[in-house]
Every structure is written in structure tokens, then in C-alpha cells.
Amino acid sequence: MSISHAPPRDGSLPSVMGTSLRQLAFGLLFGTVTGTGLALLRPVADRRGSGGPPVQMLRTVPFAGLIPLFVIWFGIGETPEIAIITLGVTFPLHLGRCRHGTSCGPT
């Protein structure tokens, strides 16, 4: 049995790359909107006393551990992949905006 590391010759590579790039673009878009929205809402949540702990709690969950949970929640397909990318983009953007922006309270 031989294992080949050559690209497929049936012409499916551009299609698969297009699907992956589309998933990446949607995940990046949704993550940017979510992370920026959380950062903009952070001062309001800090005044109510509910801003920091829920976001910090979700940030510490490892993404690899969420993959089976997302497959159970969203099924098999593109949705769990986009959700993982979104989650991976959301928290670094949120923390970056809160640390370097003037609209966020102390973290």
C-alpha cells in the first residue's frame, strides 16, 4: 500500500480551496463583528457588574475541546467549522480592543 502526497489530479483542489477560503472569510467576518461588538458593549456590562467574568470564562475553554460539541450542536458540515473560526477570532479581537481602545473599562 503506497501513500501519495501528490495533489489530486481530478481537478477537485480548486473547489476544496474555494470552500476553505469561504469558510475562513465568513468566520473572520463573524468573529470580527462579534469581538468588536463585545468590546463596545464591555463598558455597559462593567457598569452592571456582568461584563468580565462570562467573557473571561469562555475565553479559557480550549477550542479543540469544543469541536465535538459544535458538531453535536450544528451537525456535520460547514457550520461548525465557521463557528470554530469565529470563536477563534472573537476573543483575541475583543481583548485587543479592550486593552488598546478607549471605550473599554479595566480588564
pLDDT in tens, 37-96: 888 877 766 666 555 666 667 777 787 888 888 889 888 888 888 988 998 888 888 777
As given in the structure block, the three cell numbers for residue 22 are 469561504
Determine the angle formed by the axes of helices 78-100 and 63-74, rounding to 10 degrees. 130
Please indicate, yes or no, whether the overall pTM of this predicted structure exceeds 0.85: no
